Structure 1
Amino acid sequence: MDSLIRLAPWIVIIAFFYLLVFLPESRRRKKYNTMLSNLKVNDQVITKGGIIGKIINIRENESFITIQTGPDRIKIKLDKTGVLNVLSENKTSEDSGENKIEGKKEV
């Protein structure tokens, strides 16, 4: 019984550490993997190197994407995991039409 009392603080510390470190990290990793699987052509992305570009090609079987960046339309091929975040997603023509109508009503 005495050894159990000595171990109790360590058990509490380990549980607290798990809740503060591992659980949020697993949630972040799951959200990141979902974002990578939902990448589409014409999404504007930022890479881990800080390059901003638009996706022009996605190769699912190789897990590579090609982005186009800058006024010179430079094409860069990179691994999907090189994408840090999606800046703007591809909007369908129906969504953009609704936004134009709403914009006219507000003015």
Structure 2
Amino acid sequence: MLTLLPLAQAAPSGGLFGNPLLLLGLLFLVMWFTMIRPQTKQAKAHRELVEGLSKGDRIVTVGGIHGTIRQVDEKTILVEVDGGTKLRIDKGKVGYTLSSTEPA
């Protein structure tokens, strides 16, 4: 009976999550699928939106300004808003484009 005592003490305990590296890996996977992956997909979609901007597109900026693109430069766009007023803004500040069926 005394010879089995060291074997019982050496047996792994804690089940599946007893290994701290396995638990850390599982935690990283959960964080990847809930935080990092959606953020990278959203950044890619915004980058494609900015690259696809062209003259005549109706846009809304992140500040909520609605307008129509009149000129596209490398880093900026010229947007015409109400009454012929024109604003030059950074391309990265475009929130989204409006479809042609929505009112400006």
Specify which structure has the bigger relative contact order, considering alpha-carbon pairs within 8 angstroms and separated by 6 or more residues: 1
SS of equivalent to 2:63: coil
Select which of 72, 80, 85 maps to 1:58: 72
1:38-58, Cα deviation, whole Å (9 max, x unpaired): 001000000011000000000
* Residues 12-91 of structure 1 mapped to structure 2, 5 A cutoff: 12-60=26-74, 63-70=75-82, 72-88=83-99
Which residue does 2:7 correspond to in 1?
none
Q: Identity over aligned residues, as a percent?
A: 23
Partners in 1 of 2:41 and 2:20 — Cα distance?
A: 32
Three-state SS of the structure 2 residue aligned to 1:78 is strand
Which has more radius of gyration?
2
Task: Give me the TM-score of the superposition, normalised by structure 1.
Answer: 0.73
- RMSD of aligned alpha carbons: 1.5
TM-score by length of structure 2 reads 0.75
| Cα separation, 1, equivalents of 2:76 and 2:20 | 52
Question: Which secondary structure does the structure 2 equivalent of 1:49 belong to?
Answer: coil
Q: Which amino acid aligns with 1:73?
A: G
Give the AA of the match of 1:46: V
Q: Which runs of 5+ in 2 are unaligned?
A: 1-11, 13-17
Displacement after TM superposition at 1:5 (Å): 1.0
1:30 Cα offset (Å)? 0.5
The one-letter amino acid paired with 2:52 is N
Aligned-residue offset at 1:14: 1.1
